[in-house]
Amino acid sequence: MPGKRIKTRFAPSPTGFLHIGGVRTALYAELLAKQAGGDFILRIEDTDQSRYVEGAVENLCRTLKQLDITPTEGVWLDDNEKIIQKGDHVPYIQSARKQIHQEYAKQLIEKDKAYYCFCTAERLEEVRKMQELTKRPTGYDGHCRDLSPEEVKTKLDAGENHVIRLKLPNEGEITVSDVIRGDVRFEWKLIDDQVILKSDGMPTYHLAATADDHDMGITHVIRGEEWLSSTPKHLFIYEAMGWEPPAFAHLPLILNPDKTKLSKRQGDVAAEDYLKKGYLPQALTNFLALLGWNPTADREIFSKDELIKLFDLSKVNKAGAIFQLDKLNWLNNHYLREMDDQAYFELVLPYLNSYKANDDLKQRVALLYRERMTLPSEITDEVSYLFDDKLDYSNVSITWKDHSKDEAKERLQASIEWIEQIDDSKQYDAQFIESHIKTFIQENGWGNGDTLWPLRVALSGKEKSPSPFDLIATLGKKQSTSRIKQALQEL
């Protein structure tokens, strides 16, 4: 659509939580619009009121906000977390547009592209049972399709309950041209005469989404693959109304590693759960952007600005994208290392609240574990040994390989002296401490292994831990020497 201002939308239903796949949809819609300097709308599709969940809209907007996905138009939260709507097409909450939808439904009837259906739920149930019994495809049997205008009028005048259905062709094919999938053909005879207006006057998704996309000037409809089979019905409405359809792009499914559809059973699907666990917005954005699309084969790290610059809808894969938690973890570690120290402390120090220690020590501990961390919450258990007053050496060997206890003692005693000699201003400088201690080891003609092993175990009470230099620089001189003295007593 050359010359047209690009307009995309994310149109979730407020069902209570934001699916991680929905975040990717929203992100792609945002990337495409922002790349073109166009608009990105957030529209709430709440016409199925039976699925309505209290507070779901606020929750949805809050999660998008945390993820830094920001619409230029539509529904949003103000600074007091109140729902606001901005833009030329208010309301953006679909149920409030129902009169517009009713008007369109009427026009479709006038054009003979839709019809009133008076079938009761009992009749529909019987039809379905019969179809199942005779092993035919289930679906509406077209009973009310050809009622005469007089019959319809009599029933309406009598106040009979009714819905409005699309009058879809019974034969032939329709081709959906999808930006990602190319041409996809559908046979009309396999598509049901869809209800577009329910008996309570509320539109269904198909009419509401199509009408709103048209009225709001949407140029690109980006949504999950599960909506592909609905698109013929939507194209039918566009054509019946004489509207120009937007471009459609149906995104690949997100799959578990075993190639089944990503489901709650195999892990979290709610975006807010990831945020609560401590996954960073940048990591999630980076990760989700690359689920099904990658601008270059040789890079995995992309900032939001780079994603906006590079995004190409036509390069999104057709095949399902596998959700690799390892990769998300790796990205989270990357962004934790990248963030500035102050922001990092704000994120991590709350997880050290249970330890009685001053903030300086806590900060040094947090920095020590930064490289190894996937999620901030992991730190709580991993670092407890750095806060303990007494270490338990009963399950570790302080002596190095076949060395004797006396040899270990000799090295630990020397270590205390070396540490005491460190100038106070250098006591938190791991690099300095390393060269300082290594010089002494050499002077004594000792080996690194046989000296540093007892030293490290004495400092940590563990056979696996960060290096003794890092440990000294974290604990400081006093704590370090007191730990070594404890270990000497144990020997």
Would you tell me which residues interact with ligand GLU (CB under 6 A)? 11-13, 45, 205, 209, 223, 227
Alpha helices of 78-218 — where are they, by DSSP H?
Answer: 98-110, 121-133, 149-157, 205-215
CB count, 10 Å around CB of 7? 22
The dihedral sign for the CA sequence 445, 447, 450, 453: positive
Q: CB 475 → ligand GLU: shortest distance, Å? A: 53
Query: Least Å distance between CB 31 and ligand GLU?
Result: 16
Q: What angle do CA 155, 161, 165 make, to 5 degrees?
A: 90
- Cα separation values, 71 from 7, 41, 43, 90, 377, Å: 11, 5, 10, 14, 31
Considering the complex, what minimum distance in angstroms separates the CB of residue 9 from ligand GLU? 7
- Residue 342 CA, chain-centre distance (Å), reads 25
Phi, psi dihedrals of residue 255, rounded to the nearest 5°: -115, 150
Name the minimum Å distance from CB 235 to ligand GLU.
Answer: 13
Q: How far is the CB of 162 from ligand GLU (least distance, A)?
A: 25
Instruction: Exactly one of 4, 153, 264, 277 is catalytic; name it.
Output: 264
In this complex, which beta carbon is closest to ligand GLU, that of residue 45 or of residue 192? Answer: 45
Distance CA 207, CA 204 (A): 6
Q: Which is nearer to ligand GLU, 13 or 63 (CB)?
A: 13
| 21/376 with CB nearer ligand GLU | 21
For the CB of residue 45, give the shortest distance to ligand GLU in the complex, in Å: 4
Report, in Å, the least distance between residue 237 CB and ligand GLU: 13
Instruction: For ligand GLU, give the closer residue by CB, 43 or 477.
Output: 43
Nearer to ligand GLU, 6 or 209 (CB): 209
Cis ω before 466 (30° cut-off from 0): no
Q: Which CB, 226 or 392, lies closer to ligand GLU?
A: 226
- Alpha helices by DSSP H, listed for 311-357, are 325-338, 341-348
Q: Between residues 21 and 320, which has the closer beta carbon with respect to ligand GLU?
A: 21
Query: Which residue do the tokens 């690359």 mark?
Result: 290
Q: Where are the alpha helices (DSSP H) in 68-187?
A: 98-110, 121-133, 149-157
Q: What's at 206, amino acid-wise?
A: H
**Within 166-255, where are the H helices?**
205-215, 231-241
Give the position of tokens 């073109």.
Answer: 36
Question: Please, how many CA atoms are within 13 Å of residue 247, restricted to the half-sphere of its CB?
Answer: 18
Query: In the annotation, is 264 catalytic?
Result: yes
Tell me which long-range contacts 140-149 makes (C-beta under 8 A, separation of at least 24).
Answer: 140/165, 140/192, 140/193, 142/170, 142/193, 143/117, 143/119, 144/115, 144/116, 144/117, 144/118, 144/119, 145/115, 145/193, 147/115, 147/116, 147/118
Active site residues: 264
